[in-house]
Amino acid sequence: VIKCKAAVAWEAGKPLSIEEVEVAPPKAHEVRIKIVATAVCHTDAYTLSGADPEGCFPVILGHEGAGIVESVGEGVTKVKPGDTVIPLYIPQCGECKFCKNPKTNLCQKIRVTQGKGLMPDGTSRFTCKGKQIYHFMGTSTFSEYTVVADISVAKIDAAAPLDKVCLLGCGISTGYGAVINTAKVEHGSTCAVFGLGGVGLAVIMGCKVAGASRIIGIDINKDKFAKAKEFGATECINPQDFKKPIQEVLVEMTDGGVDYSFECIGNVGVMRAALEACHKGWGVSVIVGVAASGQEISTRPFQLVTGRTWKGTAFGGWKSVDSVPKLVTDYMSKKIKVDEFVTHNLPFDKVNEAFELMHSGK
């Protein structure tokens, strides 16, 4: 058993608490990882807020991390102690019907136990002050050591800087993949990106890599426009600057609507606007943002009858174990940006400050 620091969420709506936790050794087909770097994501904040119906407390949050394998349980063949890895919240077992289907990346092998905050055998590897602590998204990267299933880990280039590539564990991969895998944006396309946070910037980067000729960034925080343009946005607009709905503005700006739109916020009203900003006959809108539990989307069916397509994406459609190492390689060869997404570096015990910076849009 390893004793180490972790940020424990004891209950919903309260700040995280830095505690000494005990991390049990990995069982069969499990891997214990020394986490070197982790990022904060709105999904962690969503669960911490208490709005997540799958949220269990007390829990160790975090799902964008990178680290070094410390030890492995019996039967683990893909990684060994000393390997550099990224934990994966969508695993890839290679055996379930989802993994065998090229149309999806949603491996279901450990979905039920992962959703309950437990390892595949139905137990936890974390204890603190004599209490069992739940896992989160199969990763729990807000701990100096964590245990994950062996199908939830990608071995990556040992030379990769972990304080950068940890971001490929969620946000950057999600936005970039939404463009490359889900929408399959073509050269010369016109695209609209709703929400210019980390995921939205990754979408913009993907649109640029795909050769889109026009990339319109949309956000109510105009402080995000400069960064969006650095990533490849050709123009940025603020919905608050217009009297009419933003979809009408976009349809006018683009002679009938955009070829592709991406919703990167998780707001069902914006999801409707993103669809209705698409061009009749061929426009495709991709939902990337995660809406709160119980919310529903709506539009007039005629929007779809007249040739628009509504799609969704999880982790950008990447089959995780196969794809994350390649994304790291693409970063190392400067095909995709990662460094530019990092705004702040904080010591682990300032994790609550990191959430405050995220909520303030900084």
Question: Do residues 10 and 109 both lie within one domain?
Answer: yes
The pLDDT value given to residue 4: 98
Q: What is the CATH number of the domain that holds 346?
A: 3.90.180.10
The number of folded domains in the chain is 2
Express the helix, strand and coil content of the chain in percent, nearest 5 each: 35, 25, 45
Q: Which amino acid is at 134?
A: Y
The pLDDT value given to residue 34: 98
DSSP 8-state secondary structure symbol assigned to residue 294: T
The pLDDT value given to residue 188: 98
Question: Do residues 133 and 229 both lie within one domain?
Answer: no
Sheet order of strands, 64-72 included:
145-149, 30-39, 64-72, 84-87, 153-155
Question: Do residues 29 and 155 both lie within one domain?
Answer: yes
pLDDT band at 239 (very low <50, low <70, confident <90, very high): very high
Question: Do residues 144 and 225 both lie within one domain?
Answer: no
pLDDT band at 329 (very low <50, low <70, confident <90, very high): very high
Question: Do residues 22 and 152 both lie within one domain?
Answer: yes
Tell me whether residue 360 is in a domain.
no
- For 267-321, the pLDDT digits (tens) are 999 999 999 999 999 999 999 999 988 899 999 999 999 999 999 999 999 999 9
pTM (global) more than 0.85: yes
- For 56-69, the pLDDT digits (tens) are 999 999 999 999 99
113: tokens are: 């136990």
Tell me whether residue 361 is in a domain.
no
Tell me whether residue 362 is in a domain.
no
Domain extent for 255: 172-314
Question: Do residues 260 and 233 both lie within one domain?
Answer: yes
Question: Do residues 236 and 281 both lie within one domain?
Answer: yes
Q: What is the CATH number of the domain that holds 296?
A: 3.40.50.720
pLDDT band at 38 (very low <50, low <70, confident <90, very high): very high
pLDDT band at 353 (very low <50, low <70, confident <90, very high): very high
Helices (H), 97-197: 97-100, 111-115, 162-165, 171-177
Q: Are strands 214-218 and 190-194 parallel, antiparallel or unpaired?
A: parallel
- For 83-97, the pLDDT digits (tens) are 999 999 999 999 999
- Whether the predicted pLDDT of 51 surpasses 90: no
The pLDDT value given to residue 93: 98
Question: Do residues 9 and 126 both lie within one domain?
Answer: yes
Tell me whether residue 359 is in a domain.
no
Q: Which residue has the tokens 């010369």?
A: 188
Whole-Å CA distances, 248 to 257, 274, 311: 9, 10, 21
Question: Do residues 257 and 117 both lie within one domain?
Answer: no
Provide the b/e sequence for 298-314 (b: ≥16 CB within 10 Å): eeeeebeeeebebbbbb
Question: Do residues 205 and 113 both lie within one domain?
Answer: no
Question: Do residues 226 and 308 both lie within one domain?
Answer: yes
Question: Do residues 145 and 242 both lie within one domain?
Answer: no
Helices 351-359, 42-49: inter-axial angle, 10-degree rounding? 100
Helices 268-276, 246-253: inter-axial angle, 10-degree rounding? 20
Tell me whether residue 95 is in a domain.
yes
The dihedral through the CA atoms of 263, 43, 123, 149 has a sign that is positive
358: tokens are: 């995220």
